[in-house]
């Protein structure tokens, strides 16, 4: 199933859910605009094979704490990122394991490492730069997979209705405060197992003076 088919399926399921709720007299919340923010520090996701190269055969991730999205967690495992110009130590692995290894850094990190910052949605790794990962048991050189994650908002289908947005839509977000402003090109991601949350990186948070848990407003 391609991306367009997935989005059509999500919208179809959402419509069916709304109609079923209406048939049972269950109302939908009034339109909302405020969204909580979580700041994503540099991190990486590993597949099973790469985890074992870095941490040893049959190694499993050790959960430290849950993070904002259901089923995802910060792990105890950390690696060193090595680029052409520098390295960054103690970069945390997030779980669970994925099908493809992905490293998420900020533009500032990319420059420190000496690689070109490429802004992408998660899992879109074609023609992205690689780098070297150093773990306690091994070294792994990636030929791709390092991205600056596109800022995005996680929502459930019901959230999408309440905020009047669709999966894949790009919106603008207003930030209040002394360094506030408008953040454009924020991607909306809608899935049943998501929790309402906007994700930005450290560079973006510092530029706008945002802290974890702050509320921002979708203004289109």
- Mean pLDDT computed over 198-204: 98
- CA gap 165, 200 in Å, rounded: 19
3-state secondary structure of 143: coil
145-169: per-residue pLDDT in tens? Answer: 999 999 999 999 999 999 999 999 9
Mean of per-residue pLDDT scores for the chain? 92
Cβ contact 212:39 at 8 Å: yes
Write the pLDDT tens digit of every residue in 166-189: 999 999 999 999 999 999 999 999
Neighbours of 34 (CB within 10 A): 11
pLDDT in tens, 54-65: 999 999 999 999
**C-beta contacts of 163-171 below 8 A and 24+ residues apart:** 163/31, 163/32, 163/33, 163/35, 163/218, 164/31, 165/190, 165/218, 166/7, 166/11, 166/190, 167/6, 167/7, 167/10, 167/11, 167/191, 168/3, 168/7, 171/218, 171/219, 171/220
Q: What does the pLDDT read at residue 19?
A: 57
- Segment 38-56, tens digit of pLDDT: 999 999 999 999 999 999 9
Instruction: Tell me the β-bridge partners of 104.
Output: 43, 147
* H helix intervals, the chain: 3-23, 48-55, 107-113, 157-163, 202-208
Cβ count within 10 A of residue 56:
12
Flag whether pLDDT at 9 surpasses 90: no
């Amino acid at each position: 199933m391609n991306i367009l088919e997935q989005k059509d399926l999500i919208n179809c399921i959402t419509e069916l859910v709304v109609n079923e709720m209406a048939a049972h007299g269950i109302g939908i919340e009034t339109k909302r605009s405020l969204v909580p923010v979580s700041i994503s520090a540099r991190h990486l996701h590993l597949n099973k094979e790469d985890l074992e190269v870095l941490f040893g055969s049959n190694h499993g991730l050790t959960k430290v704490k849950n993070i904002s999205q259901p089923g995802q967690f910060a792990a105890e495992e950390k690696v060193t990122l090595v680029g052409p110009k520098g390295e960054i130590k103690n970069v945390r692995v997030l779980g669970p394991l994925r099908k493809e290894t992905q490293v998420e850094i900020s533009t500032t990190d990319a420059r420190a490492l000496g690689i070109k910052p490429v802004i992408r949605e998660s899992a879109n790794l074609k023609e992205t730069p690689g780098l070297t990962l150093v773990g306690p048991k091994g070294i792994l050189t990636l030929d791709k997979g390092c991205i600056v994650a596109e800022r995005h908002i996680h929502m459930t289908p019901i959230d999408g209705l309440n905020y009047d947005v669709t999966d894949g839509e790009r919106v603008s977000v207003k930030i209040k405060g002394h360094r506030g402003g408008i953040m454009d090109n924020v991607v909306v991601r809608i899935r049943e197992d998501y929790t309402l949350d906007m994700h930005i990186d450290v560079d973006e948070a510092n530029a706008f003076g945002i802290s974890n848990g702050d509320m921002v407003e979708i203004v289109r």
